[in-house]
Amino acid sequence: MTTSSSSSVAVDGGLSRRWVVTSGAALAATLTTRARDARADTIATNSAAREFKQTFPTLFRPFIGQGTKVTVKRELVPDKLWAMEQNIELGPLETTIRCVVARLDDGSLWVHAPLAPTREFFEMVESCASVSSPSAVKYVVVPTYALEHKIFTKDALKRWSDASL
């Protein structure tokens, strides 16, 4: 069955390319909206732990002043290696940045590329140590000169004052 209608579903017994593309786009828009709404609900219920103050002007939101970041923790290697992730926004673009935390043999932590200094982020990092406390972080590593990776180092070293840079 061949049809020229723009709302056609079948072309020679199969699905039309137009139907697949428009349905896929509609599904993607719906899922994105639902994920954004779910994230907004989560922020509303835990906003105090996710707040931070941007003290140095940047190119991403918040440019300066108060901001909120959701931190996601993923265990990469059981009891040894974790990834903490937050999103950054640059205009209409949004991407994920990652901090990697490794537990050393002595139980202390090695933190690579600290994220926005929210209470949630700090507590997630410290929970990776064998004994959870700010003194558990032994090393903070800044991997690059890129602003999004070094901007939060000062806050991390303020929280983890015993750590080496």
Q: In this structure, which amino acid lies at residue 159?
A: R
**Alpha-carbon gap, residue 3 to 9, rounded angstroms:** 9
Mean pLDDT, rounded, for 11-39: 55
Checking if the pLDDT of 112 tops 90, the result is yes
Could you tell me which residue, 75 or 149, shows the higher pLDDT?
75
Q: Whole-structure pTM over 0.85, yes or no?
A: no
> How far is residue 94's CA from residue 110's CA, in Å, rounded to a whole number?
27
Percentage of residues in the chain having pLDDT higher than 90: 44
For residue 157, pLDDT beyond 80: yes
Provide the strand spans (E) within the chain: 10-11, 14-15, 51-54, 65-68, 72-77, 81-90, 93-103, 109-112, 137-141
